[in-house]
């Protein structure tokens, strides 16, 4: 009974802290702007199964992608066992779902196997980060805290797997020693339980309880650390893929406000009947955190900081400042900095800083070629160019700021109706001496 009370208090504290954190993020999402209508649920669901659960884009790098996929799939399977632990903790039972029979056997056996596979994968990940110089893990945006964050999270996952295997091994040995039936199948723990051969049952029971509590407490701790870590993608990557833009990557969204102005010039009477004062635009493009869409912010929370986007960016590869990963990380950092003030004081709040220039420079934005290599490579379908384009739109439409050569193009389009610096009447002069023969 004491165990149940202690567990219930711990669970309530965990849920309370997690709820506070999620409510904080909801407040930030309320500051954002609409993105696009969410439709075609069937197609989105299939995309989620393929990219998020199937991990198909991860396998673009087949070896390390395979180990990452093992970790993801392992978490999905082991989460089912964690649910059982919560039920056991509240009810005082052991292996509550064993009545499920063969289904239970498959789940437990899968979790036991994945426990070892995930542990091996995490050791490989830690070794890569600690002992090998992986270029895509570096960059101006990757501060020492970013590396520490990754190493701590990986270490916690490794500890989770060790405590899980320790719990299973001691359980198998206790059941065998007391001649009791074993609930579930343990192909890995059953094999390694020989290390406990000389340990008395009383001590094995203590080991089991210690491993049980360490594992569930680590899960609770991990759940509340994740929202403040890059590993928040464990939660956010699946919805982020579900809410992916379904249009071709190269398609740029028109600005409704600009479209209305063009229609107004072409046919003022028609537009005036459908446009109200409530549709007036506060700002063209994106300057700061309150200008981003909810999808931009969701992208930033889901970002794994893996660096795959930056590693294929042609601008970055040629030495320019642009790093698509940095752009997304800056959105998250800026909302974290300004969001609380906006929630407390409203959208008129200003801290004399902005996402544009204080975080992201004009040079970074104009270096982008909109080739969409970053969006193509991202394992969770973050669309970097759409954010970059919206920040450029602010520079051009609100500040009339652009690189010198682009200003010349804008001027030519305004004066000549084309990007070239000559009159439309002279466009066919190049062909005046060409004879066209009719056969």
Angle between helices 384-399 and 294-302 (to 10 degrees): 140
Greater pLDDT, 308 or 180: 308
- 412-432 pLDDT, tens digit per residue, is 888 887 888 877 777 778 787
Confidence at residue 268, expressed as pLDDT on a 0 to 100 scale? 67
Q: How far is the C-alpha of 311 from the C-alpha of 308, rounded, in Å?
A: 5
Lowest mean pLDDT among 1-15, 44-58, 286-300, 400-414: 400-414
- Work out the pLDDT band at 277, boundaries 50, 70, 90: very low
- Token pair of 369 as six digits: 């070629």
Q: Is the pTM of this model over 0.85?
A: yes
Averaged pLDDT for residues 94-99: 89
CATH 1.20.120 matches 256-417 = no
> Is 168 exposed, middle or buried (CB count within 10 Å of its CB: 0-12, 13-18, 19+)?
buried
- pLDDT at 280 > cutoff 90: no
Confidence at residue 377, expressed as pLDDT on a 0 to 100 scale? 94
Confidence at residue 48, expressed as pLDDT on a 0 to 100 scale? 95
For 111, 257, 263, 351, the CA distances from 275, given in Å and listed in that order, are: 58, 10, 11, 34
Greater pLDDT, 300 or 93: 300
Residue 15: which residues within 8 A CB-CB, separation 6 or more?
none
Cα R_g (the chain), whole angstroms: 28
The counts of H helices and E strands in the chain are 19, 0
Q: How far is the C-alpha of 202 from the C-alpha of 206, rounded, in Å?
A: 7
Q: What single-letter DSSP state applies at residue 186?
A: -
Give the phi and the psi of residue 33 in degrees, each rounded to 5: -105, 165
Averaged pLDDT for residues 320-340: 95
Proportion of the chain above pLDDT 70, given as a percent: 96
Residue 360, classed as helix, strand or coil, is: strand
- The answer to whether 36 touches 253, Cβ cutoff 8 Å, is yes
- pLDDT at 188 > cutoff 90: yes
Confidence at residue 269, expressed as pLDDT on a 0 to 100 scale? 67
- pLDDT at 439 > cutoff 80: no
C-alpha count within 13 angstroms, C-beta hemisphere, residue 40: 13
- 354-395 pLDDT, tens digit per residue, is 999 999 999 999 999 999 999 999 999 999 999 999 999 999
- pLDDT at 272 > cutoff 60: no
Averaged pLDDT for residues 325-350: 94
**b/e map 283-299, b = 16+ CB within 10 Å:** ebbbbbbbbbbbbbbbb
- 225-265 pLDDT, tens digit per residue, is 989 888 888 889 999 999 999 999 888 888 887 887 777 77
- 36-87 pLDDT, tens digit per residue, is 888 899 999 999 999 999 999 999 999 999 999 999 999 899 988 899 999 9
Mean pLDDT score across all residues of the chain: 89
Proportion of the chain above pLDDT 90, given as a percent: 63
Averaged pLDDT for residues 142-158: 91
- 113-145 pLDDT, tens digit per residue, is 999 999 999 999 999 999 988 888 998 999 899
- Token pair of 34 as six digits: 């609409």
- The answer to whether 31 touches 236, Cβ cutoff 8 Å, is no
Confidence at residue 251, expressed as pLDDT on a 0 to 100 scale? 87
Confidence at residue 59, expressed as pLDDT on a 0 to 100 scale? 92
Query: Closest Cα partner for 182 from 112, 254, 90?
Result: 112
């Amino acid at each position: 009974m004491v165990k149940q009370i202690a567990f219930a208090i711990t669970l309530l504290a965990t849920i309370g802290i997690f709820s506070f954190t999620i409510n904080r993020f909801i407040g930030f999402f309320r500051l954002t702007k609409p993105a696009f209508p969410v439709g075609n649920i069937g197609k989105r669901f299939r995309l989620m199964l393929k990219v998020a659960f199937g991990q198909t884009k991860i396998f673009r790098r087949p070896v390390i992608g395979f180990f990452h996929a093992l970790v993801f799939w392992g978490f999905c399977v082991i989460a089912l066992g964690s649910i059982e632990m919560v039920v056991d903790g509240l009810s005082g039972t052991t292996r509550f779902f064993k009545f499920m029979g063969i289904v239970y056997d498959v789940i437990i056996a899968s979790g036991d196997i994945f426990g070892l596979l995930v542990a091996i994968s995490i050791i490989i990940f830690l070794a890569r980060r600690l002992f090998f110089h992986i270029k895509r893990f570096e960059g101006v945006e990757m501060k020492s805290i970013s590396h520490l964050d990754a190493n701590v999270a990986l270490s916690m996952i490794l500890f989770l797997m060790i405590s899980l295997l320790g719990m299973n091994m001691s359980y198998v040995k206790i059941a065998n020693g007391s001649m009791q039936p074993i609930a579930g199948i343990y192909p890995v723990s059953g094999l390694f339980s020989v290390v406990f051969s000389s340990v008395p049952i009383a001590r094995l029971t203590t080991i089991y309880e210690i491993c049980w509590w360490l594992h569930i407490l680590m899960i609770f701790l991990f759940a509340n650390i994740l929202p403040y870590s890059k590993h928040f993608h464990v939660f956010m990557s699946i919805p982020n893929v579900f809410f992916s833009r379904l249009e071709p990557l190269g398609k740029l969204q028109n600005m409704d406000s600009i479209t209305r102005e063009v229609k107004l010039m072409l046919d003022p009477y028609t537009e005036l009947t459908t446009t109200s004062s409530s549709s007036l635009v506060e700002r063209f493009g994106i300057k700061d955190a309150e200008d981003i869409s909810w999808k931009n912010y969701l992208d930033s929370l889901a970002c794994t900081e893996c660096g795959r986007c930056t590693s294929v960016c042609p601008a970055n590869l040629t030495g320019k400042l642009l790093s698509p990963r940095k752009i997304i990380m800056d959105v998250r950092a800026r909302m974290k900095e300004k969001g609380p003030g906006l929630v407390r004081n409203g959208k008129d709040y200003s801290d004399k800083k902005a996402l544009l220039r204080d975080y992201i420079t004009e040079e970074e934005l104009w270096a982008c070629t909109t080739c969409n290599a970053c969006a193509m490579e991202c394992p969770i379908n973050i669309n970097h160019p759409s954010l970059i384009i919206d920040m450029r739109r602010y520079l051009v439409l609100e500040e009339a700021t652009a690189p010198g050569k682009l200003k010349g193009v804008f001027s030519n389009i305004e004066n000549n109706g084309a990007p070239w610096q000559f009159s439309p009447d002279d466009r066919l002069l190049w062909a005046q001496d060409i004879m066209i023969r009719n056969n």
